[in-house]
């Protein structure tokens, strides 16, 4: 067995193929749930947990992003999406399509990868046509790709105009009454892409809390398969975003603010928060603070600068 290969076979993998419609170029996520013994591991795909054999050195709790190479005859061939590889996603796609990289196409590819969508010529041409026809900004394009991942298609001028209110909702620019139908929509729709995040959301006055889950909304949630994101509108520090997740019984937390001045203020106080969490029984070493222009929860789904590695995985 090659050292960079993961093998799955049997009834469970056949059921996974039957349940999910995988297409070449699609991005999926998995997490290592347990190292059983030797080369055997348990991997979680959405709400499915499957056994695998591998010589790849994996760790419990490790998260993998994979791109589908092929899916047929009871087997799925995947490659790891890795930030350490020199071949980036937009270059790879340009090579496959036989075209030169373009700014808009590159941004479309980044958004497709972000939301675990298939990266293929049909999808790229469809989105490129929408961008050109309606002169869409990157923010609006991100919204269209997210809607596509939950089964909502945008294909008319009326749909594009409706996007403006949806964008205002995500930016927190609507009144409480105006927000209600959008929260109902957000909490009902289901991501139909394997490995894509489902989003729940609630308002807390001027603040917002979001729950991102990898499994189906109808399934029970696993602690290691969800993230909590809190948006605080502070009068003194502007918009603050808190990202919280539990990985292998350890709490990971990050704070995002909008400028360096706010970061300096937060850095003076963050140790108190860290100690309070430790006193409450949480395993946490520190809380990183970064400066970034985050506009909506969609900006925090994943890192859009994903890259494709040459490590092959076979299921």
Q: Which residue has the higher pLDDT, 43 or 206?
A: 206
Quick one: which H or E segment has residue 99?
none
Among 82-96, 106-120, 149-163, 222-236, which stretch is predicted with the lowest mean pLDDT?
A: 82-96
Strands 250-257 and 289-291, how do they pair? parallel
DSSP 219-245: SPPPGGGEEEEEEEEETTTEEEEEEEE
The domain defined by 198-294 folds into: Transcription Regulator spoIIAA (3.30.750)
Q: For the chain, give every domain's residue range.
A: 6-85, 88-196, 198-294
Q: In terms of Cα–Cα distance, which of 236, 265, 270, 234 is closest to 253?
A: 270
- pLDDT of 142 reads 92
CB proximity list for 259: less than 8 A, separation 6 or greater: 238, 291
Q: Report the alpha-carbon distance of residue 171 to residue 184 in Å, rounded.
A: 16
- pTM, entire model: 0.67
Confidence of residue 297 (pLDDT cuts 50, 70, 90): very high
Euclidean distance between CA atoms 4 and 212, whole angstroms: 30
Place of tokens 């419990």: 60
109 vs 90: CA distance, rounded Å: 6
Rounded average pLDDT over 200-224? 83
The yes/no answer on whether domain 6-85 falls in CATH 2.40.50 is yes
Q: Using DSSP bridges, classify how beta strands 63-72 and 48-54 pair: parallel, antiparallel or unpaired.
A: unpaired
Measured distance CA(26)–CA(279) in Å, rounded: 43
Q: How far, in Å, CA of 270 to CA of 287, rounded?
A: 7
Q: Which residues contact 140 (CB under 8 A, 6 or more apart)?
A: 160, 163, 167
- pLDDT (tens digit per residue) in 244-256: 988 777 889 999 9
Other C-beta atoms closer than 10 Å to the C-beta of 132 total 10
From residue 132, give the alpha-carbon distance in Å to each of 91, 118, 152, 161, 190: 21, 21, 20, 15, 28
Out of 102-106, 199-203, 238-242, least confident range: 102-106
244-272: burial string, b at 16+ Cβ within 10 Å, e else: bbbeeeebbbebbbbeeebbeebeeebee
State the DSSP H helix or E strand holding residue 89, giving kind and residue range, or none if neither. helix 89-97
Q: Which residues contact 131 (CB under 8 A, 6 or more apart)?
A: 104, 108, 141
CA–CA gap between residue 299 and residue 285 (Å, rounded): 26
**Which of the pair, 197 or 205, is modelled with greater confidence?**
205
Dihedral, 254, 256, 260, 264 alpha carbons, nearest 10: -40
pLDDT value at position 194?
Answer: 66
For residue 262, what is the enclosing H or E element? helix 260-279
CB 45 within 8 A of CB 195: yes
Choose among 256, 230, 257: nearest CA to 245.
230
Of the two residues 312 and 241, the one the predictor is more confident about is 241
């Amino acid at each position: 067995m090659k050292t960079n290969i993961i093998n799955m076979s049997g009834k469970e993998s056949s059921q996974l193929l039957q349940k999910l419609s995988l297409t070449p170029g699609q991005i999926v996520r998995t997490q290592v749930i347990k190292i059983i013994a030797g080369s055997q591991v348990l991997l979680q795909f959405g709400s499915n947990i499957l056994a695998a054999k591998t010589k790849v050195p994996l760790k419990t709790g490790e998260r993998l992003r994979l791109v589908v190479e092929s899916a047929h005859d009871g087997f799925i061939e995947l490659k790891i999406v890795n930030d350490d590889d020199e071949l980036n996603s937009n270059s790879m796609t340009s090579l496959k399509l036989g075209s030169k990289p373009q700014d808009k196409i590159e941004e479309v590819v980044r958004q497709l990868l972000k939301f675990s969508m298939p990266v293929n010529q049909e999808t790229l041409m469809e989105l490129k046509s929408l961008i050109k026809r309606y002169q869409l900004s990157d923010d609006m394009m991100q919204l269209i790709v997210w809607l596509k991942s939950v089964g909502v298609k945008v294909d008319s001028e009326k749909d594009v105009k409706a996007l403006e209110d949806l964008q205002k909702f995500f930016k927190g620019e609507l009144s409480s009454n105006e927000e209600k139908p959008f929260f109902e929509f957000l909490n009902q729709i289901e991501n139909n892409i394997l490995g894509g995040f489902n989003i729940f959301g609630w308002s807390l006055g001027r603040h917002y809390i979001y729950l991102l889950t990898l499994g189906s909304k109808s399934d029970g949630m696993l602690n290691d398969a969800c993230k909590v994101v809190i948006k605080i509108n502070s009068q003194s520090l502007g918009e603050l975003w808190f990202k919280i997740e539990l990985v292998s019984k350890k709490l990971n937390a990050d704070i995002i603010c909008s400028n360096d001045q706010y970061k300096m203020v937060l850095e003076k106080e963050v140790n108190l928060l860290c100690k309070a969490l430790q006193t409450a029984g949480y395993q946490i070493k520190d809380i990183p603070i970064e400066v970034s222009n985050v506009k909506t929860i969609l900006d925090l789904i994943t890192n859009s600068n994903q890259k494709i590695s040459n490590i092959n995985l076979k299921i």
